[in-house]
Amino acid sequence: MSQATPVALSPPLDLSSCDQEPIRIPGSIQPHGFLLCLSARLDVQQASDNLAALAGMAVSDAIGRPLEAVVGDAATALLAPYREGENMPARATYLGSAALPNGAYFDVLGHAIDGLLLLEFEATARHAPADFRQVFPLVGEFLQNLPSATTIEAMSTLAARQIRALTGFGRVMVYRFDRDGDGHVMAECRADGYRSYLGQYFPASDIPRQARELYRVNRIRLIGDANYTPSRLVPEANPLTKAPTDLSFAALRSVSPIHLQYMRNMDTLASMSVSVMVKGQLWGLISCHNAEPHPLEFDKRSACEQLGQILSLSIESREDADDLQFRLELRRIMVSMLAGLTQGADFIDNMSNVFPELLRFARAGGVVIVVNDRVILHGDTPDEAQIRGLVDWLGVHSQTDLFHTDQLSAQYPPAADFVRNGSGLLAMPISRIHKHYLLWFRPELVQTVDWAGNPHGKDDAAAHGQQLTPRTSFASWRETIHGTSAPWHAGEIELALEFRSALLGIALERAEQMAELAEELGRANKELEAFSYSVSHDLRAPLRHIVGFSNLLMESSDDSTPETRQRFLSNIKDSARLAGKLVDDLLSFSQMGRAALRPIRVNMDDMVQGAINKLSADYAGRKVEWQLGKLPQIIADPSFLQLAVFNLLANAVKFTGQKDLAIIAVDAVDTAAETVFRVADNGAGFNMEYVHKLFGVFQRLHRMEDFQGTGIGLANVRRIVERHGGRAWAESTQGEGATFYFSIPKVLNL
């Protein structure tokens, strides 16, 4: 492919990062129109310096004068519906067209920002208001043809063709941003002589962060001539705000000199970009190029913006439908697996029997089960020694319910030795205490990416603090990417979490069967009675919801709306998560009575701070004051004690949820025999008449509607403390908060 001929650069800007460019306040506009900044009284406070050339009045004569004295009565009359600044729209809106006293005819756009009224006057050859009736048939044609486009690529191709027919641009591309911000050209329509970029990628560095944000809020931008000379705003700072005027929503806003040079290097002298927004995010752009200057009047730009909005909604609908179908297929596989896991008494044998379904569920090349000292491999996986090393690393570095990556070697360097069959990993811990894992591996997916020019030179220059200049070459540049697998789909992650909850439920059932044979048979029987009560009153409700909404989903007709199906799935997911939380917590409680303690010296300050950090998402947006005293170091099992501390702090956060200011205090008192810790809050409190129930399994002293919970957290606290030879108790005045205490002996008697 031919390489664009370099063009002499303008004097370099004092920039080493595109993110430093003040693109919202460039202080100038494109000269095919002029701009006036008005006070609420419609007095001119600021004007572009091409006012004399286009309107016949010098800027110095216009500043401070009423609007009608500058542009005449006809143009001023267009503001009649917007006499007060707060009534003016925040986005540039077509107000109408009018002739000025010098006889020139203009389209007038207006919007309000920072207490100012911004009026833009775009010169137009017609001497009549914009006639949108001429462009609406093209929008209608697009809507008529859209149902025949069954893929996102086909929809995008249809939009590119329609916009090129409407605007006359030489090349129209639709490209989508990937997760790294690179733009992939997935549709194109071009005239003869224009180079094709179809299938190629533009690097994320071509559109810096603040430019993406501007595309998100202002969804269309036109540059009619890349060789324009900017018209400056006079005075430089607006007299009312004492700051440069924000031109984010101005259609005439001047653009970065670096971007203009970028266009010229691409043999493009005119461009237009239309944002494609999906679920509030910048999904991609419709990018229009022309080799010669190409002005475009507002009515056609407006039609292009409408086409972009229609394309955005169509893409969102298609993605939702595809996502729904994908999740339904995953759920069918998961139901099949769970049926197989309940057939026999041996959990490991049952898992081995569903290996083929496990591979299909995660679209994986290999799957591994790690339980105690057993490592069972299926499919194409790393060897046993590599698996054991990986599990040791996961035990230290992954504290979440699910770990996933499509570039394992980037986080775990030893994975470079098995990159062929283990570039991607989905790791599911199936125990909170032991290193028990279900691991899925995806093989390396060697990718060949065709770039529109070398994407790395600009990044290298920025990394060394060098002056930024636009790319001079857009010649095809091919890169081969190694060490990466196919990415994990959001639906796979969510369904894997549900599958984990189901596995924990099965493991819980096995644990309860073993508990019947334990020495503490009486206590185990009481816990099983509590579990039976929970199954009846706690688990039955979410399970009933799952069955009910699943039936509705299966019975719904093919013409039911995506919103209805999505609502059914959302209710199923929420109910499954609640049920999963119940069995997860009960399994943890069951394990507390069997696992051996491994006491070491524990820094309680670090442990409490770690629990607070983990809880930060739970109280985001609330006012929470943490009063932390200096805590002593103690001898205890950190894994168990961390769960007890977290449960107490989580309770304090939850039961202060109705307070404007939550105050949670944590401190400790040392005695000769033990260390007593205190967690106090100013929350809902409880009735001391029922304090004897507080630490029981599935005991709740508040309504589920008021405070969500499973009733296992405090039972875990008591069991953990008692395993250490300590004690746990609480005091409260209802409505005034609660104080929880637990003690850890100085000498453990294990």
Distance CA 682, CA 655 (A): 9
The DSSP string of 539-593 is IHHHHHHHHHHHHHHHHS-TTS-HHHHHHHHHHHHHHHHHHHHHHHHHHHHHHHT
Terminal-to-terminal C-alpha distance of the chain: 76
| In-domain check, residue 344 | no
456 in any annotated domain = no
Tens digits of per-residue pLDDT, 138-181?
A: 777 888 888 888 899 999 999 999 999 999 999 999 999 988 88
Claim to verify: residue 575 and residue 614 sit in the same structural domain? no
Which two structure tokens, joined as six digits, stand for 277?
């927004």
Q: Are residues 708 and 590 in the same domain?
A: no
State the CB neighbour count (10 A cutoff) for residue 465: 8
Q: How many helices (H) and strands (E) does the chain have?
A: 21, 27
Tell me, what CATH number does 645's domain have?
Answer: 3.30.565.10
Please report the pLDDT score of residue 351 as a whole number: 80
Q: How far apart are alpha carbons 493 and 611 in whole angstroms?
A: 25
Statement to judge: residues 220 and 309 lie in one domain = yes
Task: Count the domains in the chain.
Answer: 4
Percent of the chain whose predicted confidence (pLDDT) is above 70:
76
The answer on 689 and 546 residing in a single domain is no
**Taking the CB of residue 99, how many other CB atoms lie within 10 A of it?**
14
d(CA 91, CA 112) in angstroms, rounded, equals 7
User: CATH number for the domain including 587?
Assistant: 1.10.287
Say what the pLDDT of residue 466 is: 43
Judge whether 165 lies within some domain.
yes
| Structural domain span for residue 725 | 600-745
Q: Is 738 a member of any domain?
A: yes
Q: Give Cβ neighbours of residue 606 (< 8 Å, ≥ 6 apart).
A: none
Asked whether residue 9 is assigned to any structural domain, the reply reads: no
Measured CA distances, 366 to 347, 376, 426 (Å): 19, 11, 11
pLDDT digits (tens, 9 = 90+) for 380-425: 999 999 999 998 888 877 777 889 999 999 999 999 999 999 999 9
Tokens, residue 49: 């310096």
CB contact at 8 A, 310 and 139: yes
CA atoms of 604 and 601, how far apart (whole Å): 9
Write the secondary structure of 164-175 as one string of H (helix), E (strand) and C (coil): HHHHCCCEEEEE
- The yes-or-no verdict on residue 743 having pLDDT over 90 is yes
Distance of CA 722 to the CA centre of its chain: 43
List the one residue out of 749, 702, 744, 746 whose CA is nearest residue 727.
Answer: 744
CA–CA separation, 117 vs 87, rounded Å? 10
Sequence-ordered list of residues with C-beta below 8 angstroms from that of 179, at least 6 positions apart, any chain: 487
Residues 491 and 326 sit within 8 Å (Cβ to Cβ)? yes
Q: What are phi and psi of 671, to 5 degrees?
A: -120, 180
In a domain, 355, yes or no: no
DSSP β-ladder status, 171-177 and 661-670: unpaired
Task: Decide if pLDDT at 551 tops 80.
Answer: no
Supply the pLDDT for residue 639: 79
Predicted confidence band of residue 11 (pLDDT cuts 50, 70, 90): very low
Report the C-alpha gap between 476 and 479 in whole angstroms.
Answer: 10
Indicate the residue among 546, 565, 594 that finishes a domain: 594
The Cα-based distances of 546 to 336, 500, 503, 568, 569 in angstroms read: 16, 17, 17, 9, 9
3-state secondary structure of 256: coil
Rounded distance between C-alpha atoms, residue 693 and residue 702, angstroms: 12
3-class SS at 213?
helix
Q: What is the CATH number of the domain that holds 264?
A: 3.30.450.40
Residue 258 belongs to some domain of the structure = yes
Residues 170 and 298 in one domain: yes
The CATH number linked to 94 is 3.30.450.20
Tens-digit pLDDT profile for residues 556-604:
656 567 777 677 677 666 666 656 655 665 555 555 555 667 889 999 9
pLDDT tens per residue across span 352-366: 888 899 999 999 999
Q: Are residues 196 and 309 in the same domain?
A: yes
User: Which residue, 64, 90, 123, sits at the end of a domain?
Assistant: 123
Rounded CA-CA distance 79/81 in Å is: 6
For the chain, how long is the longest CA-to-CA vector?
102
Give the position of tokens 């005293």: 629
Average pLDDT in the chain: 81
3 state DSSP class of 208: coil
pLDDT given for residue 441 in this prediction = 95
pLDDT above 60 (res 38): yes
More confident residue, 125 or 462: 125
| Integer CA distances (angstroms), 429 to 223, 261, 439, 537, 640, in order | 54, 53, 9, 28, 17
- Identify whether 107 is part of a domain: yes
Residue where one domain finishes, among candidates 319, 340, 374: 319
Angle CA 470–474–480, to nearest 5? 110
* Residue showing tokens 């409407």: 166
Q: Is residue 192 domain-shared with residue 293, that is, in the same domain?
A: yes
C-alpha torsion sign, points 119, 124, 127, 131: negative
d(C-alpha 530, C-alpha 167), whole Å: 71
Secondary structure string (H, E, C) spanning 585-629: HHHHHHHHCCCCCCCEEECHHHHHHHHHHHHHHHHCCCEEEEEEC
- Taken in order 76, 79, 80, 86, is the CA torsion positive or negative? negative
Q: Are residues 663 and 735 in the same domain?
A: yes
CA distance 152 to 280: 18
Angstrom distance (rounded) from CA 298 to CA 583: 60
> Is residue 5 pLDDT above 60, yes or no?
no
Q: How many whole angstroms separate alpha carbon 734 and alpha carbon 39?
A: 57
- 638 and 712 part of one domain: yes
* CA 407 – CA 645 distance, rounded (Å): 34
* DSSP letter (8 states) at residue 476: E
Are 211 and 263 in the same domain? yes
535 and 542 Cβ atoms separated by less than 8 Å: no
Residue 468 confidence class, pLDDT cut points 50, 70, 90: very low
Residue with tokens 């103690």: 634
573 and 625 in a single domain? The answer is no
Reported as a pLDDT band with limits 50, 70 and 90, residue 735 is confident
The separation between CA 692 and the C-alpha centre of its own chain, rounded to angstroms, equals 45
d(CA 301, CA 92): 12
Cα separation, 506 vs 515, in Å, equals: 14
Across-strand partners of 289?
171, 271
Q: Are residues 608 and 729 in the same domain?
A: yes
- DSSP three-state, residue 55: helix
DSSP label of 537 = I
Q: How many CB atoms lie within 10 A of CB 128?
A: 8
Summarised one tens digit per residue, pLDDT across range 72-109 is: 999 999 988 876 555 788 888 889 899 999 999 999 99
